[in-house]
Structure formats: structure tokens, C-alpha cells
Amino acid sequence: MPLIRDLVRRLYHQSPVVRELEAIEKQLAPAAAPARILQEEFVARLLEQDRYTQSKRLNRHEHQVFSQNGEDGVIREIYRRIGPGSREFLEMGVGNGQVNNTTFLLAQGWRGHWIEGDLRSVESIRRDFTEPLTSARLKLIHAMVTAEAVPAYLRQLGVSRDLDLLSLDLDRNTYWILEALLQVLRPRVAVVEYNATYPPDLEWKVEYDPRAWWNRTSYYGASLKAYELLCRAHGLCLVGCDLHGVNAFFVREELCGDRFEQPFTAEAHYEPGRHYLIGAPAHPPCFSDRVTAAPLPPAEPGAAPRSPEA
């Protein structure tokens, strides 16, 4: 077997296409390195500000494993403070599974549920997540997420009402789908993308349209204040946002105590949009190198795939 693996590796690197890609990568690496260094220097200086030296803030714990930014580290720190519960998650809008907020939890033995609307992404998940899918540690639905269909999704997946983590990355209609989810779920922790375009004291949200997708403008989701008020009405407190100004983190009020920075308001925890900080990790994320395809999970009846623009 070692000889076979060595032969496959040599043949792979002898491929003209692979050699060309490796050459391009070497050309780009020197140009990318200074930008990455500048990003790290900027973050280091940012964290020196008084706002971020407060011990209960979450930003110093940001760390990227499978998340787009530092969400993995923040989620890990939240559970270090409150302790794990059922170790069950639900994430909607997971892409191909390699860059989201729950794959790192899955790698640590959690179980959960994914919903994704793009068929190509679903096929990638089937290929790359064979073990958790076949063992039913991970359940997957290929469906376009709408507020009206939320109860059907939850029944089909068998989601527990008091699950540990809820994560949403649905772009346009996120606020309305979160509202529908919180009618029936009591997550201990929730992670939601907010629209940092709007100031922290303004309650703003898109008009709901189940047939509409994000058009890649600033018209998407809702402001941080809108999410703060919605979650507070359902017993969840805003405990922080990532430095990129993308994700907001909420924890059940009875679990907060004095573990997180107060007050739990948008004004106290808002971070402006710093999308220029988003950068690829040193190595492409990979959950497993086993690529045997698992059976395709059934689609939600009547569901439509997500727009390619989503």
C-alpha cells in the first residue's frame, strides 16, 4: 500500500495541469504574503484598543478552522464558558460543508443537521462527509429555505427543540427565517449574519419575499439592532460580534450570568463591516480525504434549489 500511494502521488505531481497550478501558486504566494501580514498587524493593533482588552469580550478568541472568519474560536470559547449541552447543531446555508460554523463541531464528535439549497454543494457534501452521513451523525436536506417551510424541515430532520447551536447563513431572508425558527426552537447559542451597513442603533430588515434571493448588494438580512430585539424577545442575549462585522453571537439569558461583556446591546457589541480582513487559510479546509459518495438525502417536497447568486 505505501508503494501504491507513493506511485499515485508521483503521477499526480507529474500531471501538466497540476504542475501549471503549482507554478501559479508559487507566483501568487509572494504577493499574497504582504497582504496577510498587514491584516495580522491591523488586527493586533485593533485588539490593543481599550474596547477589546476587556476580559469578557470574545474577539481575542477568534480562530479559523472551518469557519469563514474567526467564528470557530468564538463558538469554542462560548461553550468553554457555559459548558456543552446536547452537542446538537442546526445550520442553514452550509455551502459545500468545508467553510461554515458547524463543521469544526462535527469534527469534534457533535451531531447535527444541515440544509443547503445549491445542488453542487450538496453533491460535494455527499462526497466529502461520507462517515457522518452514513452513520446518521449528520443529516442533510437539499432545499430552498423559506420561513413557511421551517416546521417541515425541522420535522423531517428530527431537530430537538432545545438544541445546542443554531447557525444561519442565508443572505437575504435571514431575519424572517430566524423569526420562524425561534417560534419552535430554544437554542442555547445562535450565530447569525447581520448587515453591518446599518448603524447599531437602527432597527432595519428587508421586506420578506420567499421567492427572492440576495442580489449581492447591501439589501440583505437585517441590522444588528433588529436581531438583538428579535432574539431578546425569545430569551437570547447578544454577547458579541466578530471583528469582520459579519456574525453576531447570542446566548440564552439564563446561561449568561457574568460570563460575557455587558450590556447585551447592539450599541455595545457592534463591529463595522471589515470584509477586507477576510482571507483564505494557509491550507484549503478539508474535513476528510475519504471521498466515497454517500446516498443522496431526500429533498424537501416541493423545494427549489437556491439561486446560483446566493
Return the residue matching grid coordinates 446566548.
251
| Cis before 30 (ω within 30) | no
**CA distances (Å), 133 to each of 155, 284, 285, in order?**
18, 22, 19
pLDDT at residue 281 in the model: 72
- Of the pLDDT bands very low, low, confident and very high (cuts 50, 70, 90), residue 19 is low
For residue 42, what is its C-alpha cell? Answer: 491591523
Strand segments, DSSP code E, in the chain are: 88-92, 111-116, 138-142, 165-168, 189-193, 236-241, 247-252
Q: Are the beta carbons of 43 and 35 closer than 8 angstroms?
A: no
CATH architecture, range 55-277: 3-Layer(aba) Sandwich (3.40)
Q: Residue 34 has what pLDDT? A: 77
Measured CA to CA, the distance from residue 75 to residue 310 in angstroms comes to 25
For residue 302, what pLDDT band results from cuts at 50, 70 and 90?
very low
Q: What is the mean pLDDT of the chain?
A: 87
pLDDT at 29: 53
Domain boundaries, the chain: 1-46, 55-277
DSSP secondary structure letter of residue 153 = H
Contact 167, 191 (CB under 8 A): yes
Does residue 299 contact residue 143 with C-beta atoms inside 8 Å? yes
Q: Model-level pTM?
A: 0.84
- Confidence tier at 277 by pLDDT (50, 70, 90): confident
Q: What is the pLDDT of residue 7?
A: 42
d(CA 95, CA 171) in angstroms, rounded, equals: 12
Sheet hosting strand 165-168, strand order edge to edge: 138-142, 111-116, 88-92, 165-168, 189-193, 247-252, 236-241
Please give the DSSP secondary-structure letter assigned to residue 48: T
* DSSP three-state, residue 140: strand
For residue 18, pLDDT over 60 is answered with no
Strands 236-241 and 247-252: antiparallel
The predicted model gives 246-261 an average pLDDT of 98
What are the tens digits of pLDDT across the range 39-52?
A: 889 999 999 999 99
Q: What is the pLDDT of residues 130-142, one digit of tens each?
A: 999 999 999 999 9
Q: What are phi and psi of 113, to 5 degrees?
A: -140, 135
Q: Which pLDDT score is estimated for 293?
A: 55
DSSP helix, strand, coil percent of the chain (3-state; round to 5)? 40, 15, 45
